[in-house]
């Protein structure tokens, strides 16, 4: 488990992270969401032992990460700014990482290079941005580490490649001990892959939530009421987070037990009623609205 306790990091007079408390359990996909400058990259660099905390701690299995060479073998860090040796080709990079990581799987590397259609002997400097991202992911997967830190990993990948990478992550999670930690400024990119998501804003964690738990407690209901008095009775009996009207069609975001919500709605015999799935963005809007944040200004 990765755990940050009162984690703080400043650069001169800029506080990048301010007393962050966060747990990332093993065997899940954890998404770290936030705008540029929110502190996502700083958090990953602290988790990778590149930076030293000014205050607080960040550990893996209760072991501080900074300057611990053994614990650093348990993760692979993919930076937003992909970097490779000058004039190197993919095979040479794989050979280097095989010396760094005891479990590096060269056969898996060759297999993935072939599946992604990348030439292992071509100079990386001639690769496009998307190809370099793909290579970084292939190297990270082939390292067979417990954790894979991904900083804006999907940025620069086309939709087909994004799905291919997500499938790779899912496959490895079923076959070995593997936990991807993905930082992104785009909430929608992570909607179909993350189990838990943390929202960073201005160096602080606004919230960290298991998505299944969040979806169990917040619901979206579309309905058409028979009359205004019926509508008022329903609104009085439900914990309505938000309401949107489009003519007679009303969309409610409601907190509470699904069965209880259904019973209250159907007791009024509405003309139309349907429970709809919540998007990840809608969950975050519902969870952060009460704290005074305009989530639509924070996420894309």
Q: How many degrees, rounded to 5, is the angle at CA 48 between CA 42 and CA 52?
A: 65
1.10.3720.10, 3.60.15.10, 3.30.1370.60, 3.40.50.300: CATH of 2-202? 3.40.50.300
Q: How many degrees, rounded to 5, is the angle at CA 202 between CA 179 and CA 133?
A: 40
The average confidence (pLDDT) of the chain is 89
What residue segments make up the domains of the chain, in order of their start? 2-202, 213-298
In whole angstroms, how far apart are CA 87 and each of 120, 125, 202, 214? 13, 7, 38, 48
pLDDT exceeds 80 at position 81: yes
pLDDT band for 295, please (50, 70, 90 cuts).
low
As a whole number, mean pLDDT of residues 266-282 equals: 87
What is residue 296's predicted lDDT score, i.e. its pLDDT?
57
pLDDT exceeds 60 at position 300: no
Tens of pLDDT, residues 3-25: 999 999 999 989 999 999 999 99
Asked if CATH classification 3.30.70.250 holds for the domain at 213-298, the reply, yes or no, is yes
Task: Decide if 2-202 and 213-298 have a common fold.
Answer: no
As a whole number, mean pLDDT of residues 157-164 equals: 86
What is residue 155's predicted lDDT score, i.e. its pLDDT?
79
What is residue 287's predicted lDDT score, i.e. its pLDDT?
64
As a whole number, mean pLDDT of residues 207-232 equals: 87
Among 25-34, 190-199, 222-231, which stretch is predicted with the lowest mean pLDDT?
190-199
């Amino acid at each position: 488990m990765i755990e940050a306790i009162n984690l703080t990091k400043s650069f001169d007079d800029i506080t990048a992270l301010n007393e962050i408390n966060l747990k990332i359990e093993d065997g899940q996909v954890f998404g770290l969401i936030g705008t540029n400058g929110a502190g996502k990259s700083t958090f990953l660099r602290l988790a990778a032992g590149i930076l030293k905390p000014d205050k607080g701690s960040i550990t893996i299995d209760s072991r501080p990460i900074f300057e611990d060479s053994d614990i650093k073998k348990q993760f692979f860090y993919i930076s937003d700014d992909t970097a490779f040796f000058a004039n190197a080709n993919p095979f040479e990079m794989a050979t280097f990482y095989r010396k760094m990581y005891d479990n590096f799987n060269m056969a898996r590397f060759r297999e993935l290079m072939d599946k992604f259609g990348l030439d292992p002997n071509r100079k990386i400097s001639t690769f496009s941005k998307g190809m370099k991202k793909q290579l970084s992911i292939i190297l990270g997967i082939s390292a067979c580490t417990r954790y894979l830190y991904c900083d804006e990993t999907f940025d620069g990948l086309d939709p087909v490649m994004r799905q291919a990478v997500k499938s790779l992550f899912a496959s490895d999670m079923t076959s070995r001990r593997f936990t991807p930690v993905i930082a992104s400024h785009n909430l929608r990119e992570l909607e179909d892959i993350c189990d838990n998501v943390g929202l960073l804003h201005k160096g602080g964690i606004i919230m960290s939530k298991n998505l299944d738990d969040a979806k169990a407690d917040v619901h979206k209901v579309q309905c058409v009421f028979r009359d205004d008095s019926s509508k008022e009775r329903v609104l009085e009996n439900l914990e309505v987070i938000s309401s949107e009207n489009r003519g007679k069609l009303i969309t409610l975001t409601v907190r509470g037990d699904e069965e209880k919500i259904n019973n209250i709605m159907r007791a009024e015999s509405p003309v139309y009623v349907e429970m709809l799935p919540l998007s990840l963005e809608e969950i975050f809007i519902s969870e952060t609205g009460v704290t005074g944040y305009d989530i639509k200004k924070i996420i894309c």
